[in-house]
Amino acid sequence: MIQIREATLEDIPFITSIFRDTITHVNSKHYSEKQIKVWASGASEIEKWEERIKNSYFIVAELNETIVGFAYLSNGNCFDGLFIHKDYLRRGFGTKLMRIIESKAISTGYEIIKSDVSITALPLFENQYYIVERKQKKNYKGLSFENYIVYKEL
Ligand SMILES: CC(C)(COP(=O)(O)OP(=O)(O)OC[C@H]1O[C@@H](n2cnc3c(N)ncnc32)[C@H](O)[C@@H]1OP(=O)(O)O)[C@@H](O)C(=O)NCCC(=O)NCCS
């Protein structure tokens, strides 16, 4: 059974390892080697992960006490991150985390949730009725990344 709970600072090594591995093995289908290297390097920015856990609604999905994915919501209705371990894809875990993130935004009083989603994650968001506002090129550490600005009415 998958269990969802709020993240703690002790989870950071597991969260950053999933972040690095998922980008390297899953997002690599849609982004260049250079983009993947730069994006995955965000795993080492421990202070930023600490800030995210402290200041966002940050949840992890556990299967048999092993973290297999995570998601976080910033500023009340910005769905800023959703990552599932490469060995646990297409089992509904991404959708489950998404539902809990959306419920949090609803319970805080928001009627719209928004996100910037990767090319890789777009099929999941479209499957869950998010609308693409536009495609954009986002600058990260000097490289341009194509992704999509999406939103959903809650
Ligand atoms: C996007 C991601 C979170 C999806 O997680 P997941 O647990 O595999 O998603 P789910 O099992 O809940 O998928 C639900 C539905 O979304 C769609 N979907 C999900 N991944 C898909 C893919 N790679 N291709 C096509 N459709 C996909 C399907 O309709 C799927 O239903 P199905 O499996 O019954 O066909 C995962 O692929 C991931 O971590 N990707 C890399 C990280 C990333 O880009 N995150 C977003 C950063 S902005």
SS3 81: strand
Q: How do the domains of the chain map onto residue ranges?
A: 2-111
| CA–CA dist 86, 129 (Å, integer) | 24
Return the pLDDT at 79. Answer: 98
C-alpha 136 to ligand 1 mean position (Å)? 20
Return the pLDDT at 32. Answer: 98
| CA–CA dist 37, 101 (Å, integer) | 28
Return the pLDDT at 38. Answer: 98
Q: Show the tokens assigned to 72.
A: 């976080």
**Domain spanning 2-111 has what CATH number?**
3.40.630.30
Tokens 């935004």 belong to residue? 105
CB 94 near ligand 1, within 6 Å? yes
Atom of ligand 1 nearest to the CA of 121: 1
CB 82 near ligand 1, within 6 Å? yes
| CA–CA dist 106, 138 (Å, integer) | 28
Question: Considering only CA atoms, which residue is closest to atom 34 of ligand 1?
Answer: 90
Q: What is the mean pLDDT of each run of 10 residues along the chain (154 residues)?
A: 97 98 98 98 98 98 97 98 97 98 98 98 98 97 97 98
Return the pLDDT at 73. Answer: 98
